[in-house]
Structure 1
């Protein structure tokens, strides 16, 4: 029997993961402070705040949530608690897909068997992985459906990347991209857009093959932009940069949940999926990474080039009834608002043009995202 049994979910439940930079409160440089924060977690947060590959960031996870409001309440409490712990230790939380100036070469690996093994296996591609993302899980009722949604959601992934773009700087340089994080992630051997798979059986065969041939040691080494998660019974959308605030994260979460639920219902009704060539998705992903919300993406149906802002407005209009049923209409409307506001990448670039100071870029973004009154 395959070890990859899909633990079905009842309804489109949500789970959200935030990867947040830890920066020094004075210099705004990355700081290896994860262990000190994890050792001081208050009761009830154990398991919700986790170490990551490097000591300069933490991952904050929700529990299983019924709707976006519950996600917001769950995360707000945890983020505020971690902000206070960080301040007590001379640190702050920075919401961004990359850090503007701290060198990846200086970051300390979290000394666990898994992470040390990853660095030994992947070498510099792992050591350069100082990136931070937003991951959204949506519950589904079968593994086959999770595989089909991984395919059907592909045309929307560049839209989500453009809306979340928040990583214009790398190693002290303006990269010319609005999402440099997405390009760093693509250097990993099992990252980027997922391969086309027909069903859960083919997916589990692929995983077993990769493990048996020594290409990976665990399913956790699959870093596709969207992937099934059999233990949680979800599809996990991973393409987003870490956006600049919790408000942004909730708008993106609502958009993802509505998209997945619409695709799920289309599958249940037997609606045929119009083919979207994978090369078009790759092309659009590049445009989203390069231009952010100024991107013009190729519409997979008409093959015309369309401004991504228009695409998001039309998508929100289409999903409004779905959002009303899911109880997240206000949060979905946030996605429309965010499409008309400066993205995190634009805010970072504008601050740098004003100040010529990358530390000030971090400082202003930290202030923008702050939740707790004691920071």
Structure 2
């Protein structure tokens, strides 16, 4: 690629590898002075567009700038291009990367910086125990159970411990120990645990270790995991003409937030908490556990994405609907391992076979008021 860029530099630079000051020459060879403006631009595009598919470079920017009239970005003159070329000291330096935006390229209208919690919309996870309060009034509507199930399922992943807190899962022994050891930093190789279902009634046989074949990382008998079933209007569908929103799962939340290039999708996350216990119920399809296991004791509320990268200072920029099952469901280790097997073999997932870290319970000042936490309908 760089050899081609060097050839282009030879064609557009001066013979002495110095930018000429003659305004009639600009970046063209001397024998091209009589070439018409349209022909000259066509030659530029022929040289530069093959390079535009590689890493961002001067060639990419110049190609975009010369195409300004047809793609709607700001118009740019040849003189402005010449000034930019000289200011960036590109003459004789075909491999040098430019440090400033190329004239004529449109600025991105979006900021992807995560907002401070003081300016963000309501966050998740929220305390769902009786009497828990919140301070915020949401701007986004909350989608219902039927509306959530109409959206394609785009991702399934699980967190170590529950990110939410209810009477059924409120043991924070592990998270307190993690936070004390980390002093606010993420411990190398470990993810932050959330709330656990109580183990006080379990015997030694129920807590005996199990060798997981498909699940990776910190997946153990006795521990609890909050599984997130992520639905999004941005989800891919192999057959969009069959009146069905079929599942097409993949690792990560990219498909939920920006699938098919959408920037404002509707997203619903269904959260369900499972404790792995030897001899507990067998669930053949935990990949669709929300509908298979049942969720009679659930609530819905407006919130955000979660995860260990957010806290009570740096918040999530996304507004989404949450449906959370307030019960703790015991499940056999074979069933949980089969979930990972389904994710791996049916959808080629790998990263989400590991548990994600749990976000700290969000301060009451950054979550919705209790009147916006309603029984699932």
**TM-score bracket for this pair, using the shorter chain length:** under 0.3
Relative to the length of structure 1, the TM-score reads 0.22
Question: Which structure is higher in helix share?
Answer: 1
Higher Cα Rg: structure 1 or 2? 2
Relative to the length of structure 2, the TM-score reads 0.22
